[in-house]
Structure 1
């Protein structure tokens, strides 16, 4: 049966669109269930479209959006189109009013269809599709001067149809992997280890610090012992090589463009793709 082509409905920092071919060629030919504990924009997930899959992310607003698109695509599209159609002459002023409304709903824990629509609008109209929050957990990324439509309706309908038989979780990456068994494939695309070891920026208020990276490396070892196929991607840093080197894992270094760095001369770098098979 031919798969419908699906692309991510959000842009996500650290997204794997530019590495898709290199990731796909390294995936195991056959596996049982697919697990992705840090789904983000889901570039790999939507490309491969496994029939048996579990996706997860710590970002509650992101997972709310996946769930709303899955359960209520018509209502979601209605909300997004309403937000898009009401954009004022002053796009910047409108963007910041939407951001304020979004943060107000976050403070009230109103994880509903409207929040999902606001989330996607902000993603498409903020700087580089970043999701960054301050110490209070409030979204604080500036406007990117775009007036583009927030969604392509055909993509949303395709995503909703595909997600019907997918398990969608929100929580810690270890919890998301509890049911992973021998023969399952686990794709681990965690928040990046910093290029500068002294700077850790978080995309959720919970953050992802050095201890989180150590805990992830321990999980990778445990999943390997269970007989799972594991693939992990991250920056090619001393920390990552220290955590995964000398264990018999296959570590491939690949060149990437870094789209978020404001200095164009610093936009070329290296990442690693680590496999245990």
Structure 2
């Protein structure tokens, strides 16, 4: 398993064996929430479109792709001398105040802050300031030199494209040229006290998830692309992502202030069922689909028509329900 160059809560390295069983074959994988990039690093698609709304994350990936040795050279002394609270706060202040830094310098600082901050959490205040506290490491954090070079090699070999934009704009670039979509958005909280739902400087709400589902259904209906998602296994997840077929998995928690309380989290991988003929979900797009395929089947079975009233009715697909 190829490791991410970042520490990333919710990274997919631990679930890659299960996830690989469900990721579809395609020429290009599109990830609107690239995060720690474990899926990119551990799959073998010919091309990748990797996006995130966090400009610091995308800047790092672009600089690692284009200037890996320069990133290594700038980051190495930060790791060698920066494992203290005072140094961490000093570098964090430079990162937040010095907007005129060269992109490669900001990339090296972001890598340092991520590895030295609390549990790899990436968090910003409403003004866009990086506000993660020092991680209180007993020994110097690992310097991911090998991972930087591996990332750069794969990014260049696959001509990976890194976009800083919202999931809505990322999905708008879909052209149906043998592409597939994998989405790993901020997780719906599994409890009232869970709060890892931040989407850069704004919360990713239940309405955000509903907008994502609609955008994924739209891009599938328009281009026939296959779609896979992952999220926490909660009632809200199953309700909001109702069109998807769920596959349950268990994952060890990686974020907790107390290591003793870290346990197994229940998650789901959701696969959008589609017609084998046209690749669309919901029916009515080709002779194989039947007039109205429901959520539990990609095509053909009119008995599975208990979808939400009016759910599929649109100008492109005026199916009476």
**Shared fold (TM-score, shorter chain, > 0.5):** yes
The residue that corresponds to 1:177 in the other structure is: 171
Aligned equivalents of 1:265, 1:150: Cα separation in 2: 24
Aligned equivalents of 1:27, 1:127: Cα separation in 2: 31
Q: What is the aligned counterpart of 2:140 among 133, 143, 148?
A: 148
Aligned equivalents of 1:236, 1:20: Cα separation in 2: 17
**RMSD over equivalenced CA pairs, Å:** 2.1
SS in 2 for 1:48: coil
Return the offset for 1:156.
1.4
Aligned equivalents of 2:145, 2:179: Cα separation in 1: 33
On the 8 A contact 1:131/1:203 being kept in 2, the answer is no
Larger radius of gyration: 2
1:22-61 to 2 correspondence within 5 Å? 22-28=18-24, 30-61=25-56
Cα gap change, 1:97 to 1:150, in 2 (>3 Å) = farther
Return the offset for 1:110.
4.1
Structure 2 unmatched runs, 5+ = 274-321
Cα deviation digits, residues 65-112 of structure 1 (max 9, x gap): 001111111211111012223337xx121111111111113xx26461
1:234-273 to 2 correspondence within 5 Å? 234-245=231-242, 247=243, 249-262=244-257, 264-265=260-261, 267-273=263-269
Greater helix share, structure number = 1
Structure 1 unmatched runs, 5+ = none
TM-score by length of 2: 0.77
- Count of residues paired in the alignment: 266
The residue that corresponds to 1:113 in the other structure is: 104
SS in 1 for 2:181: strand
Which deviates the most, 40-49 or 193-202? 193-202
Higher relative contact order, chain-length normalized (CA < 8 Å, sep 6+): 1
The residue that corresponds to 1:102 in the other structure is: 95
The residue that corresponds to 1:232 in the other structure is: 229
- The yes-or-no answer on 1:126 pairing with 2:121 is no
